[in-house]
Amino acid sequence: MVVRTGDDQTGAQAVPVVELLGASKSFGALKALDHVDLRIAAGECLGLVGHNGAGKSTLVNLITGLFAPTEGQVRYAGAANHLEAGIRAISQEGTLCPNLTVLENLSVVQRDLTGLGWRRRAADRIRSALDVIFPGHRIRSDSLVIDLTLAEQQMVEIAIGFADGLRPARLVVLDEPTSSLDASIAAQLLAHIRRFCAEGGAVIFISHMMGEIFDTASRIVVMRDGRLIAERPAGQFTRQGLVDAMGHVTESDVQPSPAALARALGDKSQAILRTPEGIEARKGEIVGLAGLAGHGQAEALARFYLSQSSDWHGAARPAAAFVAGDRKRDGLMPIWSIRRNLTLAALDTLTRWGLIDTAKEAAIGAEWQRRIGIRTPDMGNPILSLSGGNQQKVLFARALATTAGVIVMDDPMRGVDIGTKTEVYDMIRHEAARGRTFLWYSTEMDEIRNCDRVFVFRNGTISAELEGDRISEENILAASFQFDEDAA
């Protein structure tokens, strides 16, 4: 449903709240945003959609002044910066301080809440914002945020975004604002967004719930690979059109995954593992976990892995091995040598009389250096002397050097160059052919294509199970986003 018609005309003439002119943003070699032109006018609600890594967050961070563009410009009409322009953002990461009360949180954001009587003024502002957006809410302005439910915290965050202040809100960016809200509260928010825009405010709305986007947005912008791919009034998009726009249309010819063709996996009843979420895998199968980032994939993997290992003792023959995606946090021992990092998981098989058999350790190190191609003159060098891609190879080798039958991978190719990726894909296929099972969470579409079977996650549960030919970008996108049947 479209709220206002002919909005694109008035939108083009009205003064833009913010305007991006050829804005680009690079992080090292990665171009997160590529020459984007976008103007957001007062009174419009812009729906922003795209898959993982499409550049939505980068775009928002440029608009909210968190990053400066590496190229191009971000211009705020009649204001020097985003604060003066009245741009507010509600991000997914949470911007509340849990140790403060609701009204104190408002004063962290709003600069003019100082001096005598600031508590009363803060309480008035936040209470009236909550009353307007969520009538019937039962949030006290002097409650500690940590004592509120998740939904109430999200409501407070939204209310802070819309609350009156020294400079009124002119553009509010809402990134998945309804993720913790139930349907009736979400409906109150959507109604408020429409009201806010009708009164001349602007909103950027990011959601995986397509129904919400169609309900509120006057214009929809689709992003892919850091570019704006399509930009149309909401009424001119259909469900199919959106999915097509988000995907890579040129690669739509689906071929069955080569991994599946290479070996016979047997029928589905032969699953060697089943998790409470419903993930299943057969021996030698490469199983992908797809969907938008943060929808429960990493948690499902962690639960499975922890259920397979013990808190109390290591196992010489572990049932599962883990490949970390966040190398710094979950993977590397930063001051150890490459060899020690590599043999860590297999240590129990290398131990004799409680001491490590260094000859055996060196042999394993040399074997995996050859097999997976770790580029270093000496495996005794510190791990940090390697490039990121080679560090990741070491973590792969660490898991593969064990006898574990199941390898759990938590988006391991994040920030790895394409050459390394290809080598590791080959290695994974090779190991799968030898009977190893892989559970592979990935945020990248071309990796998911390497899988025999894919489970798509949405809101912490599996929304689709795809196999063989049905593993396509289109099907994964369709299952990642929630389409209400009546929306399109």
List interacting residues with another protein (CB under 8 A): 66, 83, 89, 91, 93-100, 104-105, 107-109, 111, 113-115, 118-119, 142
CB of 145 to another protein, least distance (A): 8
CB of 66 to another protein, least distance (A): 7
Question: Which one, 159 or 456, has the nearer CB to another protein?
Answer: 159
- Asked whether 277 and 459 are in contact (CB, 8 A), the reply is no
Phi, psi of 273 (to 5 degrees): -145, 145
| Burial class (CB within 10 angstroms; exposed 0-12, middle 13-18, buried 19+) of 434 | exposed
| Secondary structure (3-state) at 358 | helix
Question: Which one, 145 or 379, has the nearer CB to another protein?
Answer: 145
Task: Annotate 312-341 with three-state secondary structure.
Answer: CCCCCCCCEEEECCCHHHHHCCCCCEHHHH
Question: Which one, 155 or 290, has the nearer CB to another protein?
Answer: 155
Question: Which one, 99 or 422, has the nearer CB to another protein?
Answer: 99
Question: Which one, 41 or 103, has the nearer CB to another protein?
Answer: 103
Q: 41: number of CA atoms within 13 Å, CB side?
A: 14
Question: Pick from 98, 110, 106, 103: which is nearest to 141 by CA?
Answer: 103
The β-bridge partners of 20 are 38, 74
Question: Which one, 35 or 119, has the nearer CB to another protein?
Answer: 119
CB of 329 to another protein, least distance (A): 16
Question: Which one, 118 or 403, has the nearer CB to another protein?
Answer: 118
CB of 166 to another protein, least distance (A): 12
Phi, psi of 30 (to 5 degrees): -85, 125
Residue type, 176: E
Q: What is the largest CA-CA distance in the chain?
A: 80
- Asked whether 41 and 65 are in contact (CB, 8 A), the reply is no
Using DSSP bridges, classify how beta strands 286-290 and 437-441 pair: parallel, antiparallel or unpaired: parallel
The C-alpha atoms of residue 207 and residue 82 are separated, in whole angstroms, by 23
What does the angle CA 34 – CA 35 – CA 41 come to, to the nearest 5 degrees? 120
CB of 374 to another protein, least distance (A): 31
Question: Which one, 100 or 319, has the nearer CB to another protein?
Answer: 100
Residues counted in the chain: 488
CB of 129 to another protein, least distance (A): 16
